């Protein structure tokens, strides 16, 4: 059976949902007339693959938002990105880390979206991290030949596809809070949320804690829209308690995959991801009913 192509965006982000795209697409409840809303756009990988006709993408990271907004306004295009990467890639090859840190300082002063793309693709491990002054502070990735011709072509293909999707659909991009974004929804909207995973270390532009997780639950529960939330359910060490408590009235579909840290097999760590919705999904179970059944079985055994 031929595997459906999964498109990747031009930016690399921590926690990107590439591996979960098939499960998300299978269970996302949306048609061409509905408004797709993403309060946590991240790299934009989910919307890029779901390909809604109408969409609102939002995030607190202004730099990715700014890049996509400039693609939409035609201030940026694939040709401009190509010229920039070829020029800066040659300088990186010649000067190494000195040029990387020159671009990083320039970006922190000017916030040029092209500089942000360069940093994202040449920094350590593709991380996106900012200090308290909102300055990008990820160190150099120590790959002076990073921007080879083949690598630049790969990035340009990603930019070109995103550019085409923006041109052919009604997509808007905002830098704003998830609260403000969710208020745009009505009963004809579909909300997909991929917040930072609570209880796990992440290098996101914004932090995330119990208060924000609770506020997100309140906003989604009070909206009239159908929603889907990505989160983690468990790993070999512990479980996410909020799945069965705060989100206990939701339906859940799960998928296990592996994170690789280092080259040794013992560093191959499995984690169960969960999609939580306020509507039944294929093969999903209602968490509240599942918990009730578990309690009933315990009572019988006692």
Q: List the CATH number of the domain containing 123.
A: 1.10.1020.10
Is residue 96 within 8 A of residue 145, CB to CB? The reply is no
Domain end position, chosen among 125, 158, 191: 158
Do 205 and 286 lie in one domain? The reply is yes
CA distances from 56 to 8, 62, 208, 293 (A): 19, 15, 22, 39
Q: Which two tokens stand for residue 36?
A: 């797709």
**262 phi-psi bin (left φ>0, alpha ψ -120 to 50, beta other):** left
Question: Residue 293's pLDDT is what?
Answer: 41
Q: Which residue has the tokens 């999609």?
A: 275
* Residues 42 and 185 occupy one common structural domain: yes
Q: CA-to-CA distance for 68 and 8, rounded, in angstroms?
A: 14
Please tell me whether residues 142 and 191 are part of one structural domain. no
Give the pair of three-digit tokens for residue 57: 């993408």
Q: What is the CATH number of the domain that holds 225?
A: 3.40.50.150
* Inter-residue contact 219 to 245 (CB < 8 Å): no
Total Cβ atoms within 10 A of residue 53: 15
- Are residues 192 and 280 located together in one domain of the fold? yes
233 membership: H or E segment, kind and range: strand 226-235
Structure tokens at 52: 């809604």
Q: Among residues 158, 192, 220, which one ends one of the domains?
A: 158
**Judgement on whether residues 153 and 200 belong to the same structural domain of the protein:** no
What's the token pair of residue 209? 């804690």
231-243 burial code (b ≥16 CB/10 A, e <16): bbbbeeeeebebb
CA 261 – CA 257 distance, rounded (Å) = 13
What six digits make up the tokens of 117? 């793309």
Q: Are residues 48 and 138 in the same domain?
A: no
- Pairwise CA distance, residues 231 & 229, whole Å: 6
158, 193, 226 - which closes a domain: 158
pLDDT of amino acid 126: 87
Q: pLDDT (tens digit, 0 to 9) for every residue of the chain, 302 residues total?
A: 456 889 999 999 877 788 899 999 999 988 888 999 999 999 999 999 999 999 999 999 999 999 999 999 999 999 999 999 999 999 999 999 999 999 999 999 999 999 999 999 999 988 899 998 999 999 999 988 999 999 999 999 999 999 999 999 999 999 999 999 999 999 999 999 999 988 764 444 557 889 999 999 999 999 989 999 999 998 888 889 999 999 999 999 999 876 544 444 444 567 899 999 999 987 666 655 444 443 344 343 34
* Domains held by the chain: number: 2
140 with 41, same domain?
A: no
Domain with 120 in it: 73-158
Torsional sign, CA 231, 235, 241, 247: positive
**Cα four-point dihedral sign 276, 278, 282, 284:** positive
- Specify the pairing of strand 189-193 against strand 170-175: unpaired
Token pair of 59, please? 């995030």
Residue-level pLDDT at 259: 55
**Using alpha carbons only, what angle is made at residue 149 by residues 143 and 94, rounded to the nearest 5 degrees?**
45
Question: Token pair for residue 187?
Answer: 């009963």
In a domain, 4, yes or no: no
In a domain, 185, yes or no: yes
Residues 24 and 150 in one domain: no
Q: Are residues 203 and 268 in the same domain?
A: yes
Q: Cα separation of 138 and 71, whole Å?
A: 25
Which of 76, 73, 65, 36 lies closest to 174, judged by CA? 65
């Amino acid at each position: 059976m031929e595997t459906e192509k999964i498109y990747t965006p031009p930016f690399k982000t921590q926690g990107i949902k590439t591996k979960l795209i098939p499960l998300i697409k299978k269970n996302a409840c949306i048609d061409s007339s509905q408004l797709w809303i993403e309060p946590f756009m991240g790299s934009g990988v989910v919307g890029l693959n779901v390909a809604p006709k109408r969409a609102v993408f939002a995030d607190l990271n202004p730099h990715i938002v700014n890049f996509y907004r400039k693609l939409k306004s035609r201030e940026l295009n694939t040709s401009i990105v190509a010229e920039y990467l070829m020029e800066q890639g040659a300088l990186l090859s010649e000067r190494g880390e000195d040029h990387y840190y020159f671009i990083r300082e320039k970006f922190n002063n000017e916030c040029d979206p092209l500089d942000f793309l360069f940093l994202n693709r040449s920094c350590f491990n593709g991380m996106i991290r900012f200090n308290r002054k909102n300055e990008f502070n990820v160190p150099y990735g120590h790959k002076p030949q990073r921007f080879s011709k083949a690598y630049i072509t790969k990035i340009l293909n990603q930019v070109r596809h995103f550019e085409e999707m923006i041109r052919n659909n009604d997509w808007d991009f905002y830098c704003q809070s998830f609260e403000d974004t969710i208020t745009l929804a009505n009963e004809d909207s579909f909300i997909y949320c991929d917040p930072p995973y609570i209880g796990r270390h992440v290098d996101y532009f914004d932090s995330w804690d119990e208060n924000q997780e609770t506020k997100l639950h309140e906003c989604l529960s009070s909206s009239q829209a159908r929603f889907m939330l990505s989160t983690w359910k468990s790993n070999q060490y512990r479980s996410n308690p909020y799945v069965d408590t705060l989100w206990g009235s939701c339906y859940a579909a799960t998928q296990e995959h592996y994170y690789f840290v280092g080259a040794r097999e013992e560093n191959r760590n499995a984690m169960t991801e969960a999609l939580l919705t306020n509507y039944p999904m294929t093969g999903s179970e209602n968490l509240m009913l599942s918990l009730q059944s578990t309690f009933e079985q315990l009572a019988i055994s006692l």
